[in-house]
Amino acid sequence: MSNRTGTLLGTVFHVPEREQAYGKRALRNAQNLVDDETTDSDITVVCNGGGIDHLLASAPTADQISELIQVGVRVCACRNSMGEDVSLADLVDGVEVVPTAMGELTKRQAAGDAYIRP
């Protein structure tokens, strides 16, 4: 976590795909940036569409999500994509719901964040 002190940069990861291997890879990418001692960046992960599945408390990626949240990564679910089928109670503790992924991705970049689409 030492590389997350005195943060100067910001990065938003966009995770829109349902495939489980994709979700694991995308979250590993975010973890790699946490662990990169040459880059000091505040990290947000935004999941939408099928990507919502990776945020479920019952998902194989639940531990990866928890670990990211514990080191200060902000993890967001698109309310639009959650629809009627998924509620906040279904998601890993600490996940935040945003009105739309598209709006959040726009606002983060307008605030200066880099965008990465794994």
Q: Which is nearer to its own copies, 20 or 32 (CB)?
A: 32
User: What are the respective helix, strand and coil percentages of the chain, to the nearest 5?
Assistant: 45, 25, 35
Tokens representing 29 are 């990418």
Pick from 24, 56, 66, 80: which binds its own copies (CB under 8 A)?
Answer: 80
* Conformational region of residue 59, where left means phi above 0, alpha means psi within -120 to 50, and beta covers everything else: beta
Pick from 15, 23, 41, 59: which binds its own copies (CB under 8 A)?
Answer: 41
Residues 71 and 1: their CA atoms lie apart, in Å, by 7
Query: Is residue 112 within the footprint of its own copies (CB under 8 A)?
Result: yes
Query: Is residue 33 within the footprint of its own copies (CB under 8 A)?
Result: yes
Pick from 15, 27, 30, 95: which binds its own copies (CB under 8 A)?
Answer: 30
Nearest to 75 by CA among 58, 85, 88, 60: 88
Query: Is residue 74 within the footprint of its own copies (CB under 8 A)?
Result: no
Query: Is residue 16 within the footprint of its own copies (CB under 8 A)?
Result: yes
The DSSP H or E segment spanning 22 is: helix 20-35
In the complex, which residues of this chain contact its own copies (CB under 8 A)?
8-9, 11, 14, 16, 25, 29-30, 32-33, 35-39, 41, 48-49, 80, 99-103, 105-110, 112, 114-118
